[in-house]
Amino acid sequence: MRRIVLSVAFAAVFGAATAKPTETPESSVLLKPTTDQAEAAIWAMRFLSRFHYKPMPLDDAMSEKIFDGYVDGLDGDHLFFTRADIDTFAAARDKLDDAIFERDLNAPFTIFNLYQKRVGERLAYSRELLAKPFDFSKQETYEFERAKAPWAKDSAELDDLWRKRVKNDWLRLKLAGKADKDIRETLDKRYSNYMDRIRQLNSEDVFQTFMNAYAMAIEPHTNYLSPRASANFDIAMKLSLEGIGAVLQRQDEYTAIREIIPGGPAAISGKLKAGDRVVGVGQGDSGPMTDVIGWRLDDVVDKIRGAKGTVVRVEILPEAAGPDGKHEILTLTRNKVSVEEQAAKKSVIDIKNGDTSRKVGVISLPTFYQDFDARRRGDGNYKSATRDVERLLGELREEKVEGIVVDLRNNGGGSLDEATDLTGLFIDKGPVVQIRDAGGRVEEKSDRRAGASWTGPLAVLVNRSSASASEIFAAAIQDYGRGVIIGEPTFGKGTVQNLLNMDDMARNEKPTYGDLKMTVQQFFRIDGGSTQLRGVVPDINFPLTVAAEDFGESSYDNALPWTSIAKADYAPVADLKPMVPLLIARHEARTSKEPEWQNFESDIADAKKMRDEKMISLNEQVRIKERDEQEAKRKAREALAGETLPAKPGAAVATTDASKVPSAIDPKTGTLVPAADAKSEKVLADGTKPPSEDDGLQADERSIQSDLKREQERKTRRDIVLNEAAHIVADEAELIRSDTKLAARILPQSTDAAN
């Protein structure tokens, strides 16, 4: 997670300009910096050293931080470089500042070119190992967590490390019931595909990784975005693009259809389905068809994106067809497509307590999005999280819900304005957040619109991945006494970033230099405190799914410190203090008798134990015993909770699958990532484990249809955490109706209990 720079969830969605790949899988030329990149680095230096919230000079000390971050970005798990390689680079350790000033970026590119060579050596060695059988009766272990491990002293030590890594890959597939012949073919293709992706990295990828090492050496949330990454960030914020409306993923050497977006040209045609493979793309009604087999995913995406009203031809190899199957060519007219996956959604949970049933509405908000360009143009229908939530609240009022849960789990933030405006849906008027710039000047962001869209019982559900704008909203709701905060302490990101287009500054007519996402301010709660490092502490705590030292602002070595300022001029609208202990008592009494909740807590404890482990056995009998014990424990827990778990529409499931050998490019950022560990355990967002066992495969090695089926299995499992949050809101509604004096204190002033 330290290498995840920003959440661009739609990099793999068809959508604007066409581009020719700069490298093919067969090429292995040494990459070199361009003149434009050298100039971009100078522009970035000027802004980062002068206008950042925490400006730091580009000097020898900064050079050392950049060096460490860059090497970590390439080989964070110490799987490719040796100690001798690192010593070879030592001369550049305090010279990277000079490299930027002198517009000579050969040093970081030289480091990358050696990295690419070392990856090739390791993967070639790994493929050679597949010819010989492994002895799984030996008592040996594999260290899969190597971020803090010393560099291997020589290639012989790396050989032994990779022997164990390949042995573990083989054992996982063997335990999943695969035959030796199939295992050998799967792993040979896996390592070959990984090398292809490394060879496809281009100069822009290397430069972005290097510049991100510079930006993040100053502060964790400052980043450099290449022109391509900037375009994807824009898509993520406005939740729309112009294309054919499909989601792509890499599958072996193919680019395959992952999902068809409703309402887009692909969906309207009715001729594309999940699992179909894109083998060629042509522009217009008669432009030449370009073979895209083996291309990078984002290069294929760029080929298919295009302006609304233009024509693209897509050559498809249907899912059911073999490699030599009949191709089909579809002609589609690009259009504006709304990417609704990250948009606000609603659902209703019926809570029964004896003979009483109460409806609780749920607003799930994955991100605080806004189409900035459309708003600037005066488009009255611009996409906005607040506008969507306001509409959904109206629909929930019509459904006669008695309380609302705003689910912000895994919401990493977004637009500051949206956080302010969304708060305004639940209060009358007043300040929402205070913002201080580098000069110490403080301003307030306030809700100025009179009235509220919902004045009844309210809870905000958060977890450790709720960050930034999510924390602004949750903190304001808490400070006003407007609702109960439920869940885990949040991420602790209390800084504000602006997106600076360096091409605008340099007056470039076309995207050349990229953007800086630069920290320029720090935000504070209206009570004067900060969410920085500490996050928002819930009123009602749920079990911790991750330790603060492993994930969150406090896990960064260079995070800004916690501080405080004077409180804003505001008055709480209600006093929740007398109610919270009553809700906690009911919550604890209920969950102490609830088998599903007890399983949830046990699963979290098991997951923590597994996270703390850094080694895994390579003895087959030991692994079988561990697997059988886990499976027996899972079945016992399911039997205790009951075999049939009711479905929960729209359940959010986050999977951490460290068994995947990652793409050479982080799909969210475009930056280089090192190989991940080989552990196979998965944990769902609600703390439970998935019903299916580890199959030893990566995502791109499964059929898309079977992978979608696995996802659907997870979605049908009840979201235990959300269900308990709804119970707490139903408890609040019951307390309000049974005690008018209590209701007068805990509901917004001058409103009634019935909303």
Distance from C-alpha of 77 to C-alpha of 149, rounded to nearest angstrom: 8
Q: Same domain for 133 and 157?
A: yes
Predicted pLDDT of residue 676: 27
> Mean pLDDT for each 10-residue chunk of the chain (755 residues)?
28 33 50 96 96 95 97 96 95 96 97 96 97 95 92 96 97 95 96 91 95 96 90 73 87 89 90 92 94 90 91 92 86 86 92 90 95 84 93 97 97 94 96 96 94 95 96 98 97 94 91 93 97 96 88 93 96 93 97 91 86 90 92 79 41 26 27 29 31 73 80 79 97 90 77 42
Q: Say how many domains are in the chain.
A: 3
**Residue 116 CB-density burial (10 A; 0-12 exposed, 13-18 middle, 19+ buried):** buried
CA distance 386 to 383: 9
Domain presence at residue 620? no
Answer with the one of 313, 338, 363 that is the final residue of a domain. Answer: 338
Residue 28: predicted pLDDT: 58
One domain, residues 426 and 504? yes
Helix (H, G, I), strand (E, B) or coil at 357: strand
Question: What was the pLDDT predicted at 341?
Answer: 72
Q: Are 430 and 446 in contact (CB under 8 A)?
A: yes
Same domain, 149 and 252: no
- Of the residues 338, 357, 376, the one at which a domain ends: 338
Q: Looking at the structure, do residues 199 and 57 belong to the same domain, yes or no?
A: yes
Based on the residue annotation, tell me whether 479 is a catalytic residue of this protein.
yes
355 is catalytic: no
Are 429 and 513 found together in one domain?
yes
Closest CA to 408 of 652, 189, 610, 235: 652
Planar angle of CA 254, 256, 257, nearest 5 degrees = 170
Residue 260 lies in a domain: yes
- Measuring CA to CA, which residue among 489, 571, 479 is closest to residue 527? 479
**639 within domain boundaries:** no
**Nearest Cα to Cα of residue 201 among 733, 621, 652, 663:** 663
Q: Exactly one of 384, 415, 453, 468 is catalytic; which is it?
A: 468
Q: Is residue 680 part of a domain?
A: no
Query: In CATH, what number is assigned to the domain containing residue 331?
Result: 2.30.42.10
* CB-based contact 15:243 (threshold 8 Å): yes
My answer on whether 42 and 75 are in the same domain is: yes
CATH number, domain containing residue 511? 3.90.226.10
Tell me, yes or no, whether 138 lies in a domain. yes
Could you tell me the residue range of the domain that residue 168 belongs to?
Answer: 35-221
Tell me if residue 246 falls in helix, strand or coil. strand
Active site residue 738: no
Q: Which residue has the tokens 């529409």?
A: 649
Q: Which of 493, 517, 660, 689 is catalytic?
A: 493
End-to-end CA distance of the chain: 42
Note whether 333 and 344 are same-domain residues.
Answer: no
Does some domain include residue 703?
no
Please, which residues have CB within 8 angstroms of residue 157's CB and are 6 or more apart in sequence? 82
Alpha-carbon gap, residue 221 to 212, rounded angstroms: 10
Considering the candidates 75, 479, 666, 700, report the single residue annotated as catalytic. 479
Same domain, 214 and 285: no
Check whether residue 247 and residue 215 sit in a common domain: no
d(CA 385, CA 381): 12
Q: Report residue 218 as tokens.
A: 């100053």
> Domain boundary residue among 545, 574, 603?
574
522 closest CA partner among 488, 563, 556: 563
Run of H or E residues at 625 = helix 620-641
One domain for residues 483 and 557: yes
- Can you tell me the distance from the alpha carbon of 240 to that of 369, in angstroms, rounded to the nearest whole number? 11
For helices 595-612 and 580-591, what crossing angle results, to 10°? 90
538-575: buried (b, 16+ CB within 10 Å) or exposed (e) per residue?
bbbebbebbebeebbbbbbeebbeeeeeeebebebbbe
Is residue 614 one of the residues assigned to a domain?
no
486 and 497 in a single domain? The answer is yes
Q: Which residues contact 628 (CB under 8 A, 6 or more apart)?
A: none
* Structural domain includes residue 713: no
In this structure, are 329 and 390 located in the same domain? Answer: no
d(CA 352, CA 345): 23
| DSSP H or E segment with residue 373 | helix 372-376
Burial bucket for residue 577 (CB in 10 Å: 0-12, 13-18, 19+): exposed
Model pLDDT, residue 684: 28
